[in-house]
Amino acid sequence: MIKKSKPKIAIIGAGLAGLNLARLLGELADVIVFEKSNKLGGRLSTLNEQGFSFDHGAQFFTAKNPAFQIFVKELEAHHAAEQWNARFVELKFGEIQSERTWDKDFPHYVGSPAMNSIAQYLAQDINIRFNQTITGIKKIKANWLLETANSEIGPFDWLIVAIPAEQANDFLPKNLSPKMMLQDVKMQPCFTLMLGYEIENFFDWDAAFVSDSILSWVSVNSSKPNRGKPLSIIAMSTNEWANQNLSKSDSIIINEILNELAKISGKTLNEASFIKLKRWKYANASRQEQALEIVDYPLKLAFCGDWCISGRIESAFMSSLNLANKLKNLNV
């Protein structure tokens, strides 16, 4: 009896959604993940530089869906995530409006010892090709070909796109039916300022939501589990302010964020040993009225990612899980 060969699946994007989907389909198909950068995780990002460590993308996550809760317990069991019992405050006009400690009654989690530890855990035994920027896709009879600047890669039976919708639109052919749905998805930018200090923590809290400010979030990254010293601080802009200031230079944005951070915290912040700005072009997606399920069965083309639901880590996981279940039912 001739053994049927496994279908071949290409997944574009090595963020949480793409990696989790690859893991879930690994026994049913030959899966290759293509990632344009040289790193895993997408916004599950950690920068280690000059002795400082910064989670400069996703800051934390919660777990509401039972399926995601099971996954989080798996991460904890493998020491890839831990609860962050942060001293949390809400700031408005520089004044603390409320404060509490995150605890087991409503746990908040982070990757351990870094946010990208979650991606590294998922990536075990997955075939990932880094530094692969996909510039186009082709359907040749029943198969997909991926185009890069120098070559064509394939053929593949199924193509799964697990990157932000606006990035996907850059290389999707105009005549593809899912392209119209993706055009309605809008993602917002964000600036993340990373500050490293050779001194003790000078804040009375670990994490803060900020309102009535150009900033939306400030945290002491080094207060997270297994981060250690030295002091590292994250300040994130609002999406609206970032969108209005995309054309400004890094130095201007850094100065404006530093001034705002000093104003809301009442601290002098110009003695940082390390300063770096990260521009996230596709940082946040608006919550969908209902989860997007974009699967073209005749074309064997599908999409997943946090933007399909609400732009959260849990959303990325659930989007990939939902898609994996659909494809498993089809035997891919």
| pLDDT tens-place string over residues 67-82 | 999 999 999 999 999 9
Tens digits of residue pLDDT in 109-127: 999 999 999 999 999 999 9
As a three-state string, the secondary structure of 253-275 is: HHHHHHHHHHHHHCCCCCCCCEE
Please indicate, yes or no, if residue 2 is contained in any of the structural domains: no
Please indicate, yes or no, if residue 63 is contained in any of the structural domains: yes
Tens digits of residue pLDDT in 250-266: 999 999 999 999 998 88
| Cα 111 from Cα 313, distance rounded (Å) | 11
Please indicate, yes or no, if residue 21 is contained in any of the structural domains: yes
List the end-to-end C-alpha distance of the chain, in Å, as a whole number: 21
Cα separation values, 67 from 11, 274, 275, Å: 22, 39, 39
What sections of the chain are H helices per DSSP?
16-25, 66-77, 117-122, 165-169, 178-183, 239-244, 250-265, 313-329
Q: Residue 107: which domain range? A: 8-329
- pTM tops 0.75, yes or no: yes
Q: Would you tell me how many other CB atoms lie within 10 Å of the CB of residue 249?
A: 10
Please indicate, yes or no, if residue 80 is contained in any of the structural domains: yes
Q: SS3 of 25, please?
A: helix
Please choose, from the candidates 168, 189, 187, 165, the residue with its C-alpha nearest in 3D space to the C-alpha of residue 277.
189
CATH assignment of the domain containing 236: 3.50.50.60
Please indicate, yes or no, if residue 115 is contained in any of the structural domains: yes
Pairing verdict, β 143-147 and 152-156? antiparallel
Total number of domains in the chain:
1
Please indicate, yes or no, if residue 1 is contained in any of the structural domains: no
